[in-house]
Amino acid sequence: MNSYNIAVLPGDGTGPEVTQEAVKVLDAAAQKFGFKLNYTHFDFGGDRYLRTGEVLPDTAADDLRQFPAILLGAIGHPGVKPGILEKGILLRLRFELEQYINLRPVKLYDERYCPLKGKGPDHIDFVVVRENNEGLYTGSGGFVFKGTPNEIAVQESINTRRGVERCLRYAFDYARKRRGGKPWKGLKPEDVEAGKTAQLTLCGKTNVLTYAFDLWERAFHEIGAKDYPNIKRDYTHVDATTMWFVKNPEWFDVIVTDNMFGDIITDLGAMIQGGMGIAAGGNLNPEGTSMFEPIGGSAPKYTGMNVINPLAAICAGQMLLDHLGETEAGAAIEAAVITAVREKLKDLAAGRMGYSTSEVGDLIAGSL
Ligand code: IPM
Ligand code: MN
């Protein structure tokens, strides 16, 4: 029987509640599909920081490297200044564990939850591959003359050929595999005739960021032309991308972009797929330890009330299983989530589901 060691970081606020439901569902899937999950809990988060003064032990990354996957609840505590925990835990782990991909599927399960008029599950089904280790997130830059009228603040976007290339290659590979070779339905007949099976859109800002996205664009076309002739290459500026997400989301198959743009467009993506109650993502190190999380925050005002929606955490669990190669179990969780969303839940928002947090977990676990 396959057995996997999973690190669990429930984190702050409602993180522990949703994580508990995700674990409940993972266990049900493990039992049904015949594998074993062994959990080790870590208490990183705001409470630990307030108690000990330490954001993250220096040994954390090395400890976590022993696990193939991490399940993360949420980071963010009302008693801690914004930025400390986000940078000190979430971003630090993404960097130290070299999770250079942030994979964020945007898939609408029921048209009731889409705020866009006339758009349904047929229109909203794409994936954003966000570069997760570089760009504006590295902390490169600084102040000069801080606190004086001559103050200067510089925040630099770091784009290495190696970092960009590994992200692009991941995205091309992902696009190629996404439908098992079955052509993406948004392709034009002439593209299909030319042998294309998928589309990868580079989202950038080549008209203004003429260094960073020049590198991205050159690498994109070089790699694509040489190694991925069957993937149709497409480009959109980031501002236009937000426009198309609202107007024509069906134009997208797989999107690849830098860290900052990926952060921004995936919040919009989450809203058109039904909101933070359902949106999940994976911080991937394809050669190492990956970390799966609901995209939403810790929602502290709902802490302990058993009203928050655990589906995003459950979907993070599904991505975790897919990543471990337990794809049948992952597909079963997705099917159960779809049924719950379409036929059971009244709403995806906290307190309006018609079910409590733990009842949603029971529902999904039960239907497995
Ligand atoms: C996300 C979050 C983080 C980010 C924050 C909490 C640092 O917004 O995962 O998208 O900006 O990456
Ligand atoms: Mn974000």
* DSSP state letters, 123-144: T-EEEEEEE-SSBGGG--EEEE
113 belongs to a structural domain = no
Q: Is the CB of residue 84 below 6 angstroms from any atom belonging to ligand 1? A: no
What total of structural domains would you count in the chain? 2
| pLDDT tens-digit series, residues 308-328 | 999 999 999 999 999 999 999
Ligand nearest to the CA of 295: 1
pLDDT score of 186: 97
> What is the residue range of 58's domain?
1-106+275-368
Q: Which of 55, 70, 86, 92 to mutate to test the pocket of ligand 1 (most atoms within 8 A of CB)?
A: 86
143 pLDDT more than 90 = yes
Q: Which of 263, 271, 295 to mutate to test the pocket of ligand 1 (most atoms within 8 A of CB)?
A: 263
On whether both 93 and 222 belong to a single domain, the answer is: no
Residue 121 contacts by C-beta under 8 Å, 6 or more apart in sequence?
107, 108, 109, 110, 111
17 pLDDT more than 90 = yes
pLDDT score of 180: 84
6 pLDDT more than 90 = yes
On whether both 30 and 141 belong to a single domain, the answer is: no
| pLDDT tens-digit series, residues 49-82 | 999 999 999 999 999 999 999 999 999 999 999 9
pLDDT score of 251: 98
181 pLDDT more than 90 = no
Burial category of 23 from C-beta neighbours within 10 Å (exposed 0-12, middle 13-18, buried 19 and up): buried
- End-to-end Cα distance, the chain: 19
Using the mean position of ligand 1's atoms as its centre, give its distance from the Cα of residue 267 in Å: 10
* Closest Cα to atom 8 of ligand 1: 263
Look up the pTM and report it: 0.97
119 belongs to a structural domain = no
On whether both 56 and 41 belong to a single domain, the answer is: yes
Using the mean position of ligand 2's atoms as its centre, give its distance from the Cα of residue 297 in Å: 9
111 belongs to a structural domain = no
Nearest atom in ligand 1 to the alpha carbon of residue 295 is 9
Q: Is the CB of residue 263 below 6 angstroms from any atom belonging to ligand 1? A: yes
On whether both 305 and 227 belong to a single domain, the answer is: no
125 pLDDT more than 90 = yes
Q: How many CB atoms lie within 10 A of CB 186?
A: 17
347 belongs to a structural domain = yes
| Listed residues 272, 297, 324: the one ending a domain | 272
Using the mean position of ligand 1's atoms as its centre, give its distance from the Cα of residue 263 in Å: 6
355 belongs to a structural domain = yes
Q: Is the CB of residue 12 below 6 angstroms from any atom belonging to ligand 1? A: no
